[in-house]
Amino acid sequence: MQKHLIVSDRVRRTPPQFSWVDQRLVRGNHLMKACAPAWALYLVLVTVGDQQGLSYYSDRTLARLLSLSEEAIAEARRQLVAAQVIAYEAPLYQVLGLEVSP
> 19: pLDDT confidence band, cut at 50, 70 and 90?
low
Q: Tell me whether residue 40 is in a domain.
A: yes
Residue 43 pLDDT > 50: yes
Q: Tell me whether residue 82 is in a domain.
A: yes
Q: Peptide bond preceding 15: is omega within 30 degrees of 0, i.e. cis?
A: no
Q: What's the structural domain count of the chain?
A: 1
Whose CA is closest to 66, among 26, 95, 39? Answer: 39
Q: Tell me whether residue 102 is in a domain.
A: no
pLDDT of residue 12: 77
H or E stretch at 43: helix 36-48
What is the domain-level CATH number for residue 61? 1.10.10
Q: What is the mean pLDDT of the chain?
A: 90
pLDDT for 70-102, tens place per residue?
999 999 999 999 999 999 999 999 999 887 644
Q: Tell me whether residue 80 is in a domain.
A: yes
